[in-house]
Chains A and B, each alone.
Chain A
Amino acid sequence: MREILLESTYFGAMLSLAAYEIGVLMKKKFKLPIFNPMLISVALIIIILIFCNIDYESYYDGAQVLSYLLTPATVCLAVPLYEQLELLRRNIKAVFLGIASGVVTSLLFVLLMSMLFHLDHKMYVTLLPKSITTAIGIGVSEELNGYVTITVAVIMITGIFGNMIGEGVCRLFHIKEPISRGVAIGTASHAMGTTKAMELGEIEGAMSSLSIAVSGLLTVAGATIFASFL
């Protein structure tokens, strides 16, 4: 049986879809942020893979068709953004300043925490791009000589966590405007958070989409400057 699973073309993708569906059902039933479909599905798949003694590569062979679609889907984020063009035009200054404030906060917070935990320079620069989209984050980490694999892990954890808490943080801190909610979620937790922003509303989704690109680009510049601080 294990041989069949290891060789299967469809097992990985099927398992991913099934696990996500279970996550969605659990979310519907329990309504708590911890029952986040993304978290549940990833945890469930890891448990199943370890339990059945299937290595990650065999799973990924089948599941990579999903990853393949990630670039086209990210390109498509231009559509909701274009649909909110009028709103974006009116608020362009506030939106860009908001994203910039988030990028500076992220870099500054990582700097302070790294000092607090006495992390070395290499670990510090590894964490600097933690809030931005994976592909840009990898580039920044490489450029600054960080541990790229840890950067990727940290970006994933940030994304799943942001997706989990996005709605709650906006409520807790009374972030009122849909624009601000979108900017906050996208700047803090890139594309994985953006899928949550899309659920909250069209404006949230559009602003979160824009934030992925803008915060990513600002972090490329900002991280280079911040790298010299520790």
Chain B
Amino acid sequence: MKYVKQFGVILFFSFLGEVLNALIPLPIPASIYGLLLLFTALFTHIISLEAVYDAAKFLIEIMPLMFIPASVGLMTSWGILKGVWLPVVVITLLSTVVVMAVTGKCTDLFLKHGLGKSENETRTGI
């Protein structure tokens, strides 16, 4: 029953996310509202970590599978992409590398310059 209860709590936050998505006219999906709400609920101890933990870990573990059905939908996009695929694919692949590298280097830099403590310090500190 543990899993049923935990999955129920997770669905409850997904549903709350849906409600906010319907009420607030912003392009923010139910999942993001739900994530922020669950985080807030954990942070304020409205619910305990144990109330969702095992089911949450399981769902996150199998998450890569959940992207497959929509990604297979790429097979239907060929008609639209046919004329523009080269610049689109080049921009998409290049920008993924550039954004990842710049973001990582910048964050490393910000961490080093006192905007946070490095992981090692955090691990050994306190």
User: Measuring CB to CB, which residues of chain A are less than 8 angstroms from any residue of chain B?
Assistant: 12, 16-17, 19-20, 37-38, 41-42, 45-46, 49-50, 56, 59-60, 63-64, 66-67, 69-83, 85-87, 90-95, 97-99, 101-102, 105-106, 109-110, 113-114, 117, 119, 123, 127, 130-131, 133-136, 138-140, 142-143, 147, 149-150, 152-154, 156-163, 165-166, 169-170, 172-173, 175-181, 183-185, 187-189, 191-192, 194-195, 198, 203, 205, 209, 212-213, 216-217, 220
Contacts and interface: CB of A to CB of B under 8 A. Distances in A.
Nearest to B41: A78
Interface string B62-95: 1111111111111111001100100111111111
Given A42-B71, A72-B11, A79-B42, A135 B31 contact: yes
Which 5 pairs from chain A and chain B are nearest by CB? A139-B27, A91-B116, A98-B107, A135-B29, A102-B103
Contact of B87 (A66, A119, A143, A166): A119
A53 to B, nearest CB: 12
Interface string B82-126: 001001111111111111111111111011000111110010000
B103 A184 contact: yes
Interface residues of B, number: 78
Contacts of B59: 69, 72-73, 76
A110 B7 CA distance: 40
A76 B99 contact: no
A127 B92 contact: yes
Interface string B32-61: 101111110011000001001101110110
A150 B60 contact: no
Given A79-B57, A147-B80, A188-B100, A156 B108 contact: no
B112 to A, nearest CB: 9
B83 to A, nearest CB: 10
A200 B95 CA distance: 22
Nearest to B69: A63
B17 A71 contact: yes
Contacts of B60: 73, 76-77, 79-80, 198, 205
Contacts of A170: 100, 104
A56 B72 contact: yes
A97 B97 contact: no
A113 B89 CA distance: 11
Contacts of B35: 74-75, 77-78, 81, 209, 212-213
Given A72-B10, A79-B56, A179-B116, A102 B106 contact: yes
A95 B5 CA distance: 34
Contacts of B42: 78-79, 82
Nearest to B117: A90
Q: Among A19, A134, A156, find the residue whose CB has the most chain B CB atoms closer than 10 A.
A: A156
Nearest to B42: A82
Contacts of A187: 99-100, 103
A15 B13 CA distance: 30
Contact of A67 (B66, B84, B88, B99): B66
A192 B56 CA distance: 17
A179 B28 contact: no
Given A74-B31, A93-B110, A179-B107, A109 B98 contact: yes
B119 A159 contact: no
B74 A46 contact: yes
